[in-house]
Chains A and B, each alone.
Chain A
Amino acid sequence: MNAVPSGPILCCEDVSREFITERKAVIGTPKKTFTAVNKVSLCIEAGETVGIVGESGSGKSTLGEILGGLREPTLGTVRFRGVALKDMDESQFQQYRKNVQFIFQDPKGSMHPQFRIKQIIEEPLITLKVCPDRAQRQQMVKDMIRQVGLEEETAEKYPSELSGGQCQRVAIARALIVHPKIIICDEPVSALDVSVQAQILNLLKELQQTHEIAYIFISHDIGVVNYMADRIIVMNRGSIVETGTAEQVFHSPVDEYTRKLVASSFAS
């Protein structure tokens, strides 16, 4: 292991992202560009969970994609261990890719329908060149399947044969197998049934303790975010409107919008 510099692992400084739209978003107000994320700065320390709450269109998913390198910001920089993504060379970028993983909202949709579960989990090991040895990779996949609480036979199945909760476990295994420092969870439980939601949340928490991962936990459900996150960021129309600990933000919100959000939740 090379020496890891202390301080935040992942940072973004004043990032903005605009989308060009020609259609009218609201009646009568023609818009040409739409600012999904507006000058957002954010740092993630090792092992912590940052919750991003907001409604659809608040830019929370776009922010997640920018932090994860899936979208380029129109303005601003994203830094991984102090190095801006733009200035990275090939191997540094690969390190960044390896250390920042994703879990998406729709677990089935995030897996190739014609791949077997073992292929799905194995693929990041190949593409990120973590482990060149085939037998060793298969062993790692096997271990991972067990760790996320799936049965061994699952390895041979296709995503369509699994339930939503099982698929989300596979997605977690795929993210975890390359030992990332950060996992960006974009609404990881909102497509799941209520009765399996808790299983996935608890699994994520357990894995965080054993593997020391930081989560960026994006959700519209403040109950879920409150349970998962240490630090919370409330987003509205692309900007951060409030930050603080879960306690502060949800029990004594300062911002008008946060108050509205908390009041409209049924999770009390």
Chain B
Amino acid sequence: MPNISFRVKKKYHLYGGASLTFLVVLLCLLSYVYMPHGPNDMNLALRFTSPGENPGYILGTDYFGRDIFSRIIYGSRSVLLVCCLAVALGSVAGTLLGAAAAIVKGPLSAVIMRSIDGLMAFPGILLAMMMVAAVGKGQQGAIVAIAIFMVPPFARLVYSLILDSENSLFIKAAKSYGVTRSRLLRKHYLPLLLPRLITQFTACIGAAIMIETSLSFLGLGVQPPHASWGLMLNEARQHFLQYPYLAVVPGLAIALAVLGFNLLGDGLNDLLMRRRS
């Protein structure tokens, strides 16, 4: 039993992470309902308005006089949708592959796990760029790239967890009364894995945001004129010495979103793992 102060501290992870995550989700929802200006509406008379200078443009405007606040709100869409979808795809594929490798064993298992090791050997962004090159620029490309990138961590996690619990007595007992492999996976392993998978999922979204923003920063993700945080960062590059807020605002948005998901993952891990022990 950990002492009290330790517990309280960990709870802050959960609450802090949850509120930041909630904020990002809220921004995403807001983009469908209300934005102060159209994210691509240019107002050339009001170029480079600093934050706070004009009450109509809270976070200022960029080179084309577009409202940064609206672009941040709109950009949360691609962050959230691309990342959630990609991690969801990646986690399902990874879980299935890992489970197959752990349950079937033999040569198939070796083939699956070694290819996953191979996949992990590639630097992340290089792999993502290769995927984008194969699938094409834009959101679909980013989704496929991130999804593939997310397969190895899930496959490895599931593989090792199943191998770990395979020797437990209740699995042996289940085999003794003839539980089939698929039932074993669905009814016995899955509930055991679920807390770990949820934790991993949340933490992976943090990582996915980093990749998504990097891809759009490199011009391989969301295409201009659409708004995305990475793209905004890229566009800010030319002017940010004079107008630092151009880079600070999207940078901060990315940092807070990643922090939020990571903290949430940490907090969930603590919550779910403790409940089990």
Contact = CB atoms under 8 A, between A and B. Distances in A.
B175 interface: yes
Interface in A72-126: 94, 97-98, 101-102, 104, 106, 109-114, 123-124
Interface in B158-200: 168-170, 172-180, 183, 188, 191-192
A178 B177 contact: yes
Given A97-B178, A123-B177, A128-B177, A114 B191 contact: yes
Contact of A128 (B168, B172, B178, B276): B178
A59 interface: no
Contacts of A110: 169-170, 172-173
A104 B174 CA distance: 12
Given A112-B188, A114-B191, A127-B183, A106 B169 contact: yes
A109 B183 CA distance: 19
Contacts of B178: 94, 97-98, 124, 127-128
Q: What size tier do the contact residues of chain B reach? A: 10 to 19
A238 interface: no
A110 B180 CA distance: 17
B177 A124 contact: yes
A109 B176 contact: no
Per DSSP, chain A at the interface is loop
A70 interface: yes
Contacts of B172: 70, 104, 110
A69 B177 CA distance: 10
Contacts of A98: 178
B180 A127 contact: yes
A178 B180 CA distance: 17
A68 B178 CA distance: 11
Interface in A110-150: 110-114, 123-124, 127-128
Nearest to A126: B183
Contacts of A124: 177-178
B177 A111 contact: no
Contacts of A97: 176-178
Interface of B: 168-170, 172-180, 183, 188, 191-192, 276
Given A106-B169, A127-B178, A127-B179, 19 more contacts: A97-B176, A101-B176, A102-B173, A102-B177, A104-B173, A109-B170, A110-B172, A111-B173, A112-B174, A112-B191, A112-B192, A113-B170, A114-B192, A123-B174, A123-B177, A123-B179, A127-B174, A127-B177, A178-B177
